[in-house]
């Protein structure tokens, strides 16, 4: 039974080495690399045809595993070595995100039994901005309509008795096991501009397996140095906590969006005093 052209010597493996890899070009004209100048622009996937071609064969491009909208159906008068172009819209590019994006194409026909698939081309996408989500505070309190870190947000770590606030880094494909993440915390005055001296905390940790799906938890401590100054050393008796984190992505240091959260650690019964830390919820 006829199984479709071009002949695949590795059948039933769908990847056919007789199909040349696709070539991707953006507005900048750089081979297989979309740079900043290509931002917001469509790109083209150039397919060099094989031998033999057949009337009715359909060429479909795939960007990061997702079929692009435009396809090409062969008319039957093409020859080996001819090229066809598939348009990849900016929305399709953007949806695939930044980094190394696999691109390939398939050849199908109504009479095909097996789909023929080209080998993948790795396209470096620097045109899509990298946006790292803000960190969050899992124990944050809500007072009316205000989100804040207060006495109720404090936790005590069982392993060493240290007291602090938990910070969560959202799960992301950018959290690659074995790579490093740098986390930063600082208290700021009410103007959200001036740092409160001595409250800058920087930690660099190795990302563990599974962080891409579960995220990362960071414990800001000790309390006396990085949290208590929100009341004792600030001009207004309260402060903002600013948290950002940095990842190395494609050899570029990328900083997350920052989050500023109010830190108010007055004792609810006596505002001149700070939190009662003798009995706090514990974490491992």
pLDDT of residue 40: 98
Which of 43-47, 50-54, 188-192 is the least confident region?
50-54
The Cα 77–Cα 117 span in angstroms is: 22
Beta bridge mates, 27: none
pLDDT of residue 2: 45
pLDDT of residue 251: 84
DSSP 98: S
The Cα 180–Cα 171 span in angstroms is: 15
Same domain, 172 and 256: yes
Residue 91: which residues within 8 A CB-CB, separation 6 or more? none
Same domain, 182 and 237: yes
Same domain, 166 and 96: no
Asked if the structure places residue 118 within a domain, the reply is yes
> Is residue 270 very low, low, confident or very high in pLDDT (cuts 50, 70, 90)?
low
> Does position 268 have pLDDT exceeding 80, yes or no?
no
Q: State which of 125, 154, 178 marks the end of a domain.
A: 125
Q: Which residues of 46-76 are buried (b: 16+ CB within 10 A; e: fewer)?
A: ebebbeebbeebebbbbbbeeebebebebee
> Does position 112 have pLDDT exceeding 90, yes or no?
no
Same domain, 161 and 120: no
Asked if the structure places residue 134 within a domain, the reply is no
Asked if the structure places residue 28 within a domain, the reply is yes
Same domain, 115 and 186: no
> Does position 128 have pLDDT exceeding 80, yes or no?
yes
What average pLDDT does this structure show over 21-34? 98
Asked if the structure places residue 1 within a domain, the reply is no
**CATH value at residue 279:** 2.60.40
What average pLDDT does this structure show over 24-49? 98
pLDDT of residue 14: 87
> What φ, ψ does residue 226 adopt, rounded to 5°?
-110, -10
> Is residue 13 very low, low, confident or very high in pLDDT (cuts 50, 70, 90)?
confident
* Residue from 85, 122, 90, 84 nearest 103 by CA: 122
Domain range for 278: 141-283
Asked if the structure places residue 109 within a domain, the reply is yes
The Cα 239–Cα 196 span in angstroms is: 8
pLDDT digits (tens, 9 = 90+) for 131-155: 999 999 999 999 999 999 999 999 9
Asked if the structure places residue 4 within a domain, the reply is no
The Cα 215–Cα 34 span in angstroms is: 29
Same domain, 176 and 271: yes
**CATH value at residue 90:** 2.60.40.10
Beta bridge mates, 147: 142
Q: State which of 101, 125, 149 marks the end of a domain.
A: 125
Rounded alpha-carbon distances, angstroms, from residue 117 to 18, 84, 106: 10, 16, 4
Same domain, 85 and 147: no
Stretch (H or E) spanning 211: helix 211-214
- Rounded to the nearest integer, the mean pLDDT of the chain is 94
pTM above 0.85, yes or no: no
Stated length of the chain: 284
Residue 169: which residues within 8 A CB-CB, separation 6 or more? 135, 175, 181, 183, 211, 215, 216, 217, 218, 245
Q: State which of 94, 125, 156 marks the end of a domain.
A: 125
pLDDT of residue 1: 43
Same domain, 77 and 146: no
Domain count, the chain: 2
Same domain, 172 and 275: yes
Same domain, 147 and 117: no
> Is residue 272 very low, low, confident or very high in pLDDT (cuts 50, 70, 90)?
low
The Cα 130–Cα 255 span in angstroms is: 9
The Cα 66–Cα 86 span in angstroms is: 14
Asked if the structure places residue 13 within a domain, the reply is no
Which of 102-106, 116-120, 150-154, 270-274 is the least confident region?
270-274
Pull the structure tokens for residue 225. 């140095």
Same domain, 44 and 163: no
What average pLDDT does this structure show over 186-205? 98
* Residue from 34, 9, 20, 191 nearest 114 by CA: 9
> Does position 276 have pLDDT exceeding 80, yes or no?
yes
Same domain, 119 and 184: no
Asked if the structure places residue 89 within a domain, the reply is yes
């Amino acid at each position: 039974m006829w199984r479709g052209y071009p002949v695949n010597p590795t059948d039933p493996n769908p990847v056919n080495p007789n199909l040349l890899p696709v070539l991707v070009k953006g507005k900048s004209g750089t081979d297989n690399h979309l740079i900043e100048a290509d931002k917001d622009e469509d790109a083209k996937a150039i397919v060099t045809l094989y031998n033999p071609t057949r009337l009715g064969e359909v060429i479909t491009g795939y960007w990061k595993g997702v079929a692009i909208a435009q396809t090409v159906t062969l008319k039957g008068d093409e020859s080996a070595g001819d090229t066809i172009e598939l348009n990849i819209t900016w929305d399709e590019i953007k949806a695939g995100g930044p980094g190394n994006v696999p691109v390939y194409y398939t050849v199908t026909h109504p009479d095909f039994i097996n789909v023929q698939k080209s080998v993948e081309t790795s396209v470096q996408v620097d045109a899509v901005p990298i946006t790292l989500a803000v960190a969050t505070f899992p124990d944050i309190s809500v007072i009316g309509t205000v989100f804040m870190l207060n006495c109720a947000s404090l936790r005590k770590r069982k392993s060493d008795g240290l007291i602090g606030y938990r910070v969560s880094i959202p799960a992301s494909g950018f959290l690659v096991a074995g790579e490093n993440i740098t986390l930063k915390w600082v208290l700021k005055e009410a103007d959200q501009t001036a740092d409160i001296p001595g409250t800058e905390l920087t930690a660099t940790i190795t990302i563990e397996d599974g962080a891409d799906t579960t995220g990362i938890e960071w414990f800001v401590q000790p309390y006396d140095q990085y949290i208590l100054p929100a009341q004792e050393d600030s001009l207004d008796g309260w402060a903002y906590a600013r948290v950002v984190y940095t990842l190395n992505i494609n050899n570029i240091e990328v900083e997350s969006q920052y989050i500023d959260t109010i830190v108010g650690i007055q004792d609810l019964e006596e505002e001149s005093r700070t939190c009662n830390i003798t009995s706090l919820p514990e974490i491992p």
